[in-house]
């Protein structure tokens, strides 16, 4: 029989380089200028809602580049579909921050923009099993875009020293005039090659499927016919393990096993399956399991009837033992008779007032 499993597979875009930045920074314009993809470009935020994937050729190096939808402050908390978008960066080994230099009139500037995005990357807890390195710790570059705009070029020159002070390579480009793009694409190619050499196993990592744990029944009881004989078969890792661990020469151990099986519900299940005292019960496989003639534990009476465990007769089953089953049944019957007699004696004593049954009903206490 096969096993039923539940699997969640998540597809994440995979690219060597992720273009990351505020909406309208020019990410789609850049991927269009550097590769053959032609994504939608517009002057309103969140034009891109699904990443576009492009192939860049720089000399002999081919690598993929993705323009991730724009991020805003609070993206790591889900703002502006932040989770959705940050997820796409997870399987990119190099992060290129695209900063808009044509923002002079607004309340934004490249330095502040970078800080915001960096904070979001730091706050985003990626799926370590898939991505390995936290986003904020991946190799990063700064791309100052829109230097074709006069104010943009000026602003880029102003902020460059501060950005370089962060230890990140800085490239001034224009997706419109294509200035600086060749240099940028070769620089990215070199970074990608370094990453590929450093982590060759990343893409080839084996796919691990973790089946969701199912709350399965700890055992099954089935009524089977074995060689013309009706046998109640108990299967289940717990009962089978317990039986294997039991030393059947030790009455205490056998009693303990009986208690555990009863607590697990095996007795009730046997009753339900139609087993009666004396029925043949096999715990484990029919061949090689442990077989015994079933004698239900006497929940209230067991303590009163002598040493713990003497009631339950269990024998390790081996091939060839079946012939003796009739004898064992006979012995069992005799023991049951003896027990019935002992029980009768106890009741007689109780009725005579020698002792009080603590489990008896109130009316019996009178
Ligand atoms: N002058 C100038 N404008 C640019 C440049 N790059 C992009 N733009 C303009 O900036 C606007 C936004 O460009 P997109 O490429 O759509 O920006 P995006 O980063 O992909 O934006 P979202 O998809 O919304 O995140 C468009 O009007 C572009 O024409 C550039 O280098 N120079
Ligand atoms: Mg876009």
Q: How confident is the model at residue 16, as a pLDDT?
A: 92
Local confidence band at 279 (pLDDT 50, 70, 90 cut-offs): confident
Domain parsing of the chain, residue ranges: 15-198, 220-365
Asked if the model's pLDDT at residue 303 lies above 90, the reply is: no
Residue 307: per-residue pLDDT: 37
52-96 pLDDT per residue, tens: 889 999 999 999 999 989 998 888 888 888 888 888 888 788 999
% of the chain residues with pLDDT over 70: 70
The rounded radius of gyration (Å) of the Cα atoms in the chain is 38
Is the shortest distance between the CB of 13 and ligand 1 below 6 Å?
Answer: no
CATH number of 220-365: 3.40.50.720, 3.10.129.10, 3.40.50.2020, 3.30.300.350? Answer: 3.30.300.350
Q: How many residues does the chain have?
A: 366
Residues with CB under 5 A from ligand 2 (ion): 28, 47-48
Q: What is the position in ligand 1's atom list of the atom closest to the CA of 49?
A: 23
**How far away, in angstroms, is 175 Cα from ligand 1 center?**
8
**∠ CA 288-293-298, rounded to 5°:** 130
Q: Which ligand is nearest to the CA of 30?
A: 1
* CATH topology assigned to domain 15-198: Rossmann fold (3.40.50)
Residue of 26, 53, 178 best suited for mutating to test ligand 1, as the one with most atoms within 8 Å of CB: 26
Q: Ligand 1 in contact with 25 (CB < 6 A)?
A: yes
Give the pLDDT mean for 8-19: 71
Tokens matching residue 75? 């993206």
Q: What is the pLDDT of residues 349-361, one digit of tens each?
A: 666 655 555 454 4
Ligand 1 touching residue 261 (CB < 6 A) = no
Tens digits of residue pLDDT in 146-177: 999 988 999 999 999 999 999 999 999 999 99
HSE of 122, CA atoms in CB hemisphere, 13 A: 7
| Sheet with 170-172, side-by-side order of all strands | 52-58, 61-67, 15-20, 92-100, 140-145, 170-172
Say whether pLDDT at 194 is over 60: yes
Give the burial class of 5: count Cβ atoms within 10 A of its Cβ; 0-12 exposed, 13-18 middle, 19 or more buried: exposed
Query: What are the two backbone dihedrals, phi and then psi, of residue 161, each rounded to the nearest 5 degrees?
Result: -60, -40
At residue 362, does pLDDT exceed 80?
no
For the sheet with 229-235, list strands across it.
220-226, 229-235, 280-283, 290-293
Ramachandran bin of 309, using left for φ above 0, alpha for ψ from -120 to 50, beta for the remaining angles: left
Q: Is 46 in the pocket of ligand 1 (CB under 6 A)?
A: yes
Please report which ligand is nearest the Cα atom of 44.
1
């Amino acid at each position: 029989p096969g096993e039923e499993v539940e699997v969640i597979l998540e597809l994440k875009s995979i690219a060597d380089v992720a273009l990351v930045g505020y909406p309208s920074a020019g990410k789609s314009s850049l991927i269009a200028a550097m590769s053959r993809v032609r994504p939608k470009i517009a002057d309103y935020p969140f034009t891109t809602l699904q990443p576009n994937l492009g192939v860049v050729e720089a000399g002999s190096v081919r690598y993929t580049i993705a323009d991730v939808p724009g991020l805003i402050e609070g993206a790591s908390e889900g703002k502006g579909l932040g989770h959705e978008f940050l997820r796409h960066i997870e399987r990119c080994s190099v992060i290129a921050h695209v900063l808009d230099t044509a923002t002079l009139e607004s309340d934004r500037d490249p330095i502040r923009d970078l800080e915001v995005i960096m904070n979001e990357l730091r706050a985003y807890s990626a799926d370590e099993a898939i991505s390995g390195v936290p986003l904020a710790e991946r190799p990063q570059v700064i791309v100052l875009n829109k230097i074709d705009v006069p104010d943009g070029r000026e602003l880029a020159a102003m902020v460059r020293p501060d950005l370089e002070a962060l230890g990140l390579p800085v490239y001034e480009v224009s997706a419109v005039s294509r200035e600086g793009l060749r240099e940028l694409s070769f620089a990215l190619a070199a970074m990608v090659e370094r990453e590929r050499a450093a982590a060759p196993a990343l893409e080839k990592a084996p796919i691990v499927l973790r089946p969701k744990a199912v709350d399965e029944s700890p055992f099954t009881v089935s009524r089977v016919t074995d060689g013309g004989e009706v046998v109640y078969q108990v299967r289940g890792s717990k009962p089978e393990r317990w039986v294997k661990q039991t030393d059947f020469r030790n009455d205490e151990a056998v009693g303990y096993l009986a208690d555990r099986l009863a607590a697990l519900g095996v007795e009730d299940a046997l009753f339900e399956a139609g087993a009666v005292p004396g029925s043949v019960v096999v715990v484990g496989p029919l061949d090689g399991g442990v077989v015994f003639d079933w004698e239900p534990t006497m929940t209230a009476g067991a303590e009163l009837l002598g040493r713990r465990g003497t009631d339950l007769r269990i024998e390790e089953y081996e091939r060839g033992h079946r012939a003796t089953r009739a004898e064992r049944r006979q012995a069992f019957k005799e023991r049951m008779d003896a027990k019935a007699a002992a029980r009768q004696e106890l009741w007689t004593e109780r009725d005579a007032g020698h002792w009080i049954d603590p489990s008896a009903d109130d009316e019996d206490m009178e």
